[in-house]
Amino acid sequence: MADSLRRKIMLVDDNMANLTIGKNMLKDAYQVFPIPSAARMFELLESITPDLILLDIEMPDENGFEAMQKLRLDPRFADTPVIFLTARQDEASELEGLSLGAGDYISKPFSAPLLLKRIENHLTITKQRLELKDYSDHLEEMVRQKTSLITNLQNALLATVADMVESRDDVTGGHVSRTQRYFKLMIDELILEELFLDTVNSWDIDYLLQSIQLHDVGKIAISDSILNKPGSLSDEEREIMKTHTTIGLSAISRIEQNTVEHAFLRYAKTIAGTHHERWDGTGYPNGLAGENIPLEGRIMAIVDVYDALISERSYKRAFSTEEAVGIIAGGRGTHFDPVLVDVFLQIADKFARVAELTA
């Protein structure tokens, strides 16, 4: 077999007779590099990558244990199999060699059949480990690609559902994407001002922002005559309109029942079911008040109302950003969490820029 196809064995021993004997034992099966010292081995490692190293322990200047420690500190050779060769017979030496990461420990003098078999076994194990790693890496990449495809599909479906809701609600478009951006602005400011940090730090923000797409999903079940009525709603129509929160909550809960529990669905339920609650307890569907309203719902109440105010609808003109800011400020402590209103007022100019860029 040509040397280029044979696996490489470094035989490191300060005894020239051992090098000669060892090379003769191995040369028919492997490409052997007889090396008289650990220092010379490290020089050759810069140009030769061995498949296995046979390393003598008793060597001057730098013994096998010291050389082994250096090998394992170098990422290039940390996984290279090493078999210690030694005349030592004590258990402590063998244990030390194995604890340093040697794959085996062979006492001198050694027989050719034993040495060849030990080398064969370790090379087989190394080959299998590398094949397993390659398979694992390939599998991880396949999983990553599949996960990416599924995530993209989910996002596309969510975006389509959100577009359907917007189109039924006579919204000119962009409401969902704007509320996601407003919500992210609020989160960033809360972190900057160190407010509600225990809650905010517990969130998976990516899933939370994605879940906003379903905040009005219940409107799919509301009649067009109510959704797009040009004038004020009657008391009966207003009560029907309010049911979009419980309808959305129920729809998301049904999805959850047919799949695994997931943070995305948990956030979606919270936001769909609480973004019309009011700080003073006069909101719907459950009349929650104050901090009994989840923080996600309290933030969504502000960003949803802001975008509704600046958007033209069949029943109202679009308010200016200044008017919208004034209305939200006027709802401080009644409609909205007063702390969150103060945060909103700090970054109202950023809201206005988002609205302008996505109009």
Q: What is the pLDDT of residues 265-322, one digit of tens each?
A: 899 999 999 999 999 999 999 999 999 999 999 999 999 999 999 988 777 788 999 9
Whether 272 and 254 have beta carbons less than 8 Å apart is answered as: no
3-134 architecture in CATH? Answer: 3-Layer(aba) Sandwich (3.40)
**Closest listed residue to residue 104, CA positions, set 64, 70, 133, 73:** 64
* CA distance readout (Å), 305 to 173, 297, 331, 353: 15, 12, 11, 17
- pLDDT-wise least confident of 71-75, 84-88, 202-206, 327-331: 84-88
**Closest listed residue to residue 78, CA positions, set 104, 44, 103, 107:** 103
Q: What is the pLDDT of residues 176-207, one digit of tens each?
A: 889 999 999 999 999 999 999 999 999 999 99
pLDDT of the residue at 89 = 66
Q: What stretch(es) of the chain map to CATH 1.10.3210.10? A: 148-357
User: In this structure, what token pair is assigned to residue 243?
Assistant: 């049911």
240 pLDDT band (50/70/90 cuts)?
very high
Task: Pick the more confident residue, 84 or 282.
Answer: 282
Q: What stretch(es) of the chain map to CATH 3.40.50.2300? A: 3-134
What DSSP designation does 336 have? B
Sheet arrangement for strand 82-86:
31-35, 8-12, 52-56, 82-86, 104-107
Calculate what percentage of the chain has a pLDDT beyond 70: 87
pLDDT of the residue at 261 = 77
This prediction has a pTM of: 0.61
Whether 303 and 179 have beta carbons less than 8 Å apart is answered as: yes
259 pLDDT band (50/70/90 cuts)?
confident
Query: In what helix (H) or strand (E) does residue 269 lie, and over which residues does it extend?
Result: helix 263-274
**Closest listed residue to residue 8, CA positions, set 33, 44, 43:** 33
Average pLDDT of the segment spanning 245-273: 89
Q: What is the pLDDT of residues 128-164, one digit of tens each?
A: 877 887 787 788 788 788 777 766 766 676 766 666 6
Backbone torsion region of residue 99, taken as left when φ is above 0, otherwise alpha when ψ lies between -120 and 50, otherwise beta: alpha
Whether 54 and 80 have beta carbons less than 8 Å apart is answered as: no
Average pLDDT of the segment spanning 214-220: 88
Q: How many CB atoms lie within 10 A of CB 271?
A: 29
Range 148-357 has CATH code 2.40.50.180: no
pLDDT of the residue at 244 = 93
59 pLDDT band (50/70/90 cuts)?
confident
**Closest listed residue to residue 14, CA positions, set 52, 51, 41, 46:** 41
